[in-house]
Amino acid sequence: MELLKKLKFTIGNSQCIFRTLTPEDVSPSYVDALKKTRGVIQTVPEDINIEWQRSYIQKILLSPCDTICGLFIDSKLIGTSGIQNLSVDRIANRDIELAQGYTYSCTLGILVLSEKLRGKGYGKALVWAACYLANSCCGVQTFEAGIKKCNTPSLESFLGCGFKLKGESADSVNVKVKTSELVKPGFIETIIIE
């Protein structure tokens, strides 16, 4: 699904755009980041390459209920947010397995591409921007995520945006937020939706 709007904001002096990804946005650095996170993101195949990821992005664009967006800073892709179950009738759509049980809510996953950029707040920007834009474009009111316990930075990104712990299993936790409780990171300024 292509979200018809994009979100523009600033972080310090940097111009940021958060928008739906296209196959043309897939780069070698994006594919390398996916390879390195294979243990955390279960959908990454062993033989991933640029062509495979471009095909995957094209399928997502054709989906009636899922999307993947990118955070571009000064025109460079630095991270992605996958959003599932965006359709208006989520119950008729499908249920999504989380760490403990299933959900009909929208689910969210994030990836900061470069290890050098991790720990600088971009994960929070990805979480917040995905929730804010999905709410603006599709009216989504609730988001959930399943996060591996070993992925502390990702969990901190979600908790920093207002998500609360909902449940856990031996190796994962579930978090959830209503958009009315979403917290904008303090470093994000000058927000425009186009």
Looking at residue 174, its pLDDT comes to 92
Residue 144 in domain: yes
Looking at residue 80, its pLDDT comes to 96
Rounded Cα distance, 97 and 111, in Å: 19
CATH number at residue 68: 3.40.630.30
Residue 2 in domain: no
Looking at residue 35, its pLDDT comes to 85
Residue 156 in domain: yes
Looking at residue 99, its pLDDT comes to 56
Structural domain span for residue 135: 7-193
Residue 67 in domain: yes
Looking at residue 88, its pLDDT comes to 59
Q: 10-residue block means of pLDDT along the chain (194 residues)?
A: 95 96 95 78 73 94 92 95 78 58 77 89 97 92 90 94 93 93 96 96
- Report pTM: 0.90
Looking at residue 16, its pLDDT comes to 97
Residue 170 in domain: yes
Residue among 2, 7, 1 nearest 136 (CA) = 7
Give how many domains the chain has, as a whole number.
1
Looking at residue 92, its pLDDT comes to 55
Rounded Cα distance, 84 and 60, in Å: 10
Residue 1 in domain: no
Residue among 108, 94, 120 nearest 182 (CA) = 108
Residue among 33, 59, 63 nearest 48 (CA) = 33
Rounded Cα distance, 43 and 79, in Å: 17
